[in-house]
Homo-oligomer: A and B are copies of this chain.
Amino acid sequence: MAAPAVVLLSGGLDSATALAIAREKGFACHALSVDYGQRHVAELSAARRVADACGAHEHRLMRVDLAGIGGSALTDKGLAVPEAPTVGIPVTYVPARNTIMLSLALAWAEVLDAEDIFIGVNVLDASGYPDCRPEFIAAFGALAALATKAGVEGRACRMHAPLIALTKAEIIREGIRLGVDYALTVSCYQADEEGRACGRCDACRFRRAGFSAAAVPDPTRYR
């Protein structure tokens, strides 16, 4: 029987690729999406389609209301999503988002007796979010070993961030090799209800440049 793994699945390009990689490694993938009050809620429908298409064992949606505390252009509609590069960590950063998501993944992993968690973060061709860096992932792994009954009892909790050092083009080429249908994914921070992209936000720019650099036709539906 395939070992279970929890795979964080946003519905974007990176996490779809991480899911395909986890699947290729032979894991039974329990995909977890989080509705945190993001404005680009179309990514959650995309996540469901991606989970189905990539052969996830199951797909779970958890809700946490981060919009109530605000502090990010992704959760506060009063803050505009930048449509040109900005200096430093952009306003689309969501406070502690990946810490929260990994915590939820850790909880589910413990219930499933899963020793492996996958997350599709990467540091290159990305926005400089602090919780996408290797040192953050390593620190979460150290925490996980201490945080759970499973850890105390000697079960492992391995954090996998297989895209962390890849460029967007390399991620896309790996996904294509694994049969990911990127037309199903939604990366845009201000995607409309149909999942159509703006083409101007950071997420769109990195994605578009990635397809271009990979010399792969861009299947993104722009509005």
Could you list which residues of chain A lie within 8 angstroms of chain B, going by C-beta atoms? Answer: 60, 62-66, 68-71, 89, 93-100, 103-104, 106-108, 110-111, 129-131, 133, 135-136, 139-140, 142-144, 146-153
Contact = CB atoms under 8 A, between A and B. Distances in A.
A48 to B, nearest CB: 16
A135 B146 contact: yes
Contacts of A111: 69-71, 95
Contacts of A146: 130-131, 133, 135-136, 139
Task: Kindly name the residue among A150, A151, A152 whose own CB sees the greatest number of chain B CB atoms within 10 A.
Answer: A152
A89 B149 contact: yes
Contacts of A103: 96, 99-100, 103
A222 to B, nearest CB: 29
A36 to B, nearest CB: 9
Taken together, the copies of this chain in the complex come to 2
Contact of A95 (B66, B69, B110, B140): B110
Contacts of A142: 139, 142-143
A135 B62 CA distance: 28
Given A100-B100, A140-B143, A146-B139, A130 B152 contact: yes
A149 B107 contact: no
B104 A100 contact: yes
Given A103-B100, A110-B71, A63 B65 contact: yes
A67 to B, nearest CB: 11
Contacts of A106: 95-96, 99
Nearest to A105: B96
Contacts of A65: 62-63
A149 B131 CA distance: 9
A215 to B, nearest CB: 34
